[in-house]
Structures are given as C-alpha cells and as structure tokens.
Amino acid sequence: MCGFAAIYANQDVAAELYDALLTIQHRGQDAAGIVTYDGNFHLEKDEGLVREIFDSKKMQRLTGNMGVAHVRYPTVGHGGKEDAQPFLVNSPFGIVMAHNGNLFNCTNLKDELFRLDLRHVNSGCDVEIILNLFAAGLTKQKVNVLSPENIYTAVQEVFDRAKGSYSVVGMIAGQGMVAFRDPFAIRPMIMGKRETSLRTEYMFASETVALTTLGFEVARDVQPGEAIFIDMTGELHSKIIERKGYHPCIFEYVYFARPDSVIDKISVYKSRLRMGEKLAAKVIERDLEVDVVVPVPDSAKTSAITLAANIGVKYREGLVKNRYIGRTFIMPGQEIRKKSVRQKLSPVELELKGKKVLLVDDSIVRGTTSKKIIQMVRDAGAEKVYFASCAPPLRFPCPYGIDLPTKKDYIANNFTEEEVAKAIGADELIYQDLEDLKDACGLKLEKWNPEIDSFCTACFDGHYPTQDINEDIIEDFGRERKDEQNVVASQVSLV
C-alpha cells in the first residue's frame, strides 16, 4: 500500500503536495518523492519520511503548477532509493508517474518491454513498468500533439498487458496530467476540484483526507477502468475504457486508511464503529467477564469505543503510542517489526493492573506484534487478557499491494483459533466474521454504494477478483518477496 497525490492548479503546487503527503504518511514510510512541472520536470525523492526528505532548498527547486507526489510502502522491489517514486522517462515527450498497487507479472513484462518495445526498466518498482507500457502505447501512435483518444489508447496498452491492481497518476511534458484506475478498481483513487477565478483546479489522491485538508471539494471516485486527461488549457476529459468489475479492497477500512477518509463512498470511520458493534455481539455471546476495553492504537480505537459501549464496560487507552515510531505492519522487515513494537507502545499500569482486559486490534497477521502487546499488558499486572480482532483470520497472499506474500506467514494458517490464542498468550481470542466485516463496511445499508459489485476479500477467503491468480503465481510472487525481504534484512544488519 502506497499513497499518492497529484495537483493541477493555477500556481506552484509543491507546498500543497508536501502537505498532502503529510496527511497520507500512514500509507508508506519507506520513501517519498515529489515531481513538479513548469516546462521542465523538477524531481526530489529519497528514502525516509516526508519531513526528513524535503527541506526548504529542495522545496524551492520544485516549481510549477502541476505536480505528482508519493509515499512508498514496498511490495515489489528492494525498497531502496532506486525504487522510490515518482518515476520519469524522457521519451516520448517526457512522462512522470506514481501509483498505488502491485503487478504480479513484473518479470515477464520487463522482458517483454526490452524485447518488443526496446525499453529498459532499471528498478524493481512496478510503476516503472506501467510508465514504460504507457510510453510504449504513446510511441506507437507517432503523434506530436496528444488528444484524449491518444491517452486512452495508451492506457488501454497498460490494461492489456499489466496484471494486478493499480491506481496511477502522471504528467506528460507539454501535454497535461493523466490519471487512471485498473478495470477492477481494487486500489483507491479519488478526484477533487477547487473553483478559482481563473479556472477549475484538480487533485487526485489515495484518500479524501488529502483533498479536504487542502480545500478541494471531493468530486467523485475514479471509476474502474477509467482514464482522465487534463490538457494544458485545464480542460478535463474522461472515459471508462475497460470496466471488469468494482471490487475495492476491504482491508483499507480495517487498517490502512485514515478514519476521516471516505473511499468509494464508504466512510472508514463509520465502518470501524460498526466493526466494534459486531465484535461486541460476540463478546456478549461468549459471556466474557471484562473490566476494561483497551485499543491497540491507533487504527483499533474507533472500533474499541463502540465495543465498550455495547457491552457496558469502560473504554480506556491503556496503551500509549510513541508518535515518532511508524506503523509496524508496514515496516520493511520482520526484525524491524519486532524491535519497533517495544519502542512503539507503553502500558498505562493504572488502567491495567488487576483488571480483566479486552484488547482490541485491527487484525492478526503473523502474531508477533499481538504476542508482544499481550505480554506487555500482563507485565503491567492485568489479571486476564482477552484479544479481539476487527478482521477475520488472514489466510491468503495478496498480489494486489499488501505485504503478505506467503501462506505460511499467516499465523491462522498454522494453528486453530484456540491454538492462535495460546500462541499469542491470550486467555481468549475473538475474530470478526467475514460476513460481519462486509456488513460493517456498509454492504446491507441503504446508503451502500450500488456501483460496487463486491469487496476484494482475497486475503481472507482466497477469492481473487481478477480471476487470473493461481498457485504458481502465488508461489513465484512469494519467493520474490522473500528474496527482497532478505535483502532488506541484510541491509538493516549492516547499519
């Protein structure tokens, strides 16, 4: 999962892109980058957090009224500076791109691009492949000035050859800004607009919070298989090129997105409130004796509030988060995750000692983080520790952009529910049911987005919406990801 923002405005956009990246920093902490355009491209990107990368001198060099920005969470590639986005190619015209998503046929496409299109991909990042596919699609048309139809033809080239999920933003030198979303709409993309006395300004982002923070009105979600082109006069053109379904990732609502975002017309905050209600029913059914409900900050807070209210016990923030430590789920290596848990959370003994504590977290993946948190609460004097997961058991690899590549990485595939509870040190474990999770995200509500066919729930049930995933692909992808994680681990050990 990565995050992006792109702005087409009437004045320099670098400062607003910087602010936008701060609002979506939670989507990626590995690297960040900004490209602006004023007749020339100006690019700054590096490893690290947004505040660490962009100083006043770098920001002053980022001039232009169009720009693309990105925060990276590595799913493909070794996660070094060479994989930081956005990416730039010089021909045709000069094109910049950034994306959120993941391709699972990267190796084949690299070979294809070299053999058939005479284009070399130099990084391990899949957006460079998308960029070169798009560029190849434009090159074949042999035009000097691009029309919307030329853009749509090039996007079709990407759709025909790229397999996976992707929401893409880009700029073409002297031509305009482009945005498109894969035909299944798995990864989010929202368009905003801002009216000025000169002309309408446009923005694209991974979450609505990036738009509203900058004063852009949320216009709509980019549709499955839709391409949008804003030409140099500021006129917007759009076309749904190839729609194969509408299957937004349900894990956005569980973990990745900020609670104040609305994605595909579904409120993340409201979804998490309802997740807590669903869990509360399970706690009541099991007749658990609970003194206090404590969330694992921050993504589980909203659910824990309604859970506590529905079972009639106190809600307390018994774990305090160090705001300067990143999200452990998206840390690039398991050893870093283990170390970060100890640095990230501190127990409030006053709220835990002698209590029967119900911990609420967004999910259980490997079990490493959960085990350490439960032990931390026990060490603070808790009499009992129950554990509730807002998500069902994670069981299947995700080739669409979540860093969970192999089945054996999931603790739920290695143990029964009772054994998982024992492995993580909980007195009792409660998982969310998948149907309850879907309902929590609004599936049966009157305000449900009727355009959505179904959520992508592949990480829970193995039903891949693209219908082109098989065991060989999963194994190949898993091996590739393990190799990359080993590289990261070796780099960390050298620091």
For 268-365, list the strands marked E by DSSP: 292-295, 314-315, 319-321, 345-347, 356-361
Residues 6+ apart with CB under 8 A from 323: none
Find the largest Cα–Cα distance for the chain: 74
- List the one residue out of 271, 153, 134, 159 whose CA is nearest residue 224: 159
Distances (CA, A) of 180 to 76, 77, 104, 158, 237: 20, 22, 18, 10, 12
- CB-CB contact of 271 with 329 (8 Å): no
Q: At what angle do helices 368-379 and 334-344 cross, to 10 degrees?
A: 30
User: b vs e for 299-317, b when ≥16 Cβ sit within 10 Å of the residue's Cβ?
Assistant: bbbbbbbbbbebbebebbe
DSSP state of 197: S
Q: In angstroms, rounded to a whole number, what is the distance separating the alpha carbons of residues 268 and 299? A: 10
Among residues 2, 106, 249, 398, which one is catalytic? 2
Q: How many residues belong to the chain?
A: 495
Interstrand relation of 164-172 and 190-194 (parallel, antiparallel or unpaired): unpaired
Q: Quick check: bond before 399 cis, omega within 30?
A: no
Give me the numbers of helices (H) and strands (E) for the chain, helices first please.
17, 22
- Is 66 in contact with 177 (CB distance < 8 Å)? yes
Those residues with Cβ within 8 angstroms of residue 435's Cβ, 6 or more apart along the chain or in another chain = none
- What DSSP character marks residue 441? T
2 counts as catalytic: yes
**Which of 77, 80, 75 is closest to 31 using CA atoms?**
80
- What is the β-pairing status of strands 176-181 and 190-194? unpaired
Q: DSSP assignment, residue 456?
A: B
Q: Tell me how far CA of residue 25 lies from CA of 4, 19, 60, 250, 494, in angstroms.
A: 10, 10, 21, 20, 26
Task: Show the 3-state SS of 111-123.
Answer: HHHHHHCCCCCCC
Tell me the C-alpha distance between 236 and 366, whole Å: 45
Residues 43/173, Cβ–Cβ less than 8 Å:
no
Count of other CB atoms within 10 angstroms of residue 357: 28
- The C-alpha R_g of the chain, in whole angstroms, comes to 23
What tokens were used for 401?
């952009």
Q: Which residues are catalytic?
A: 2
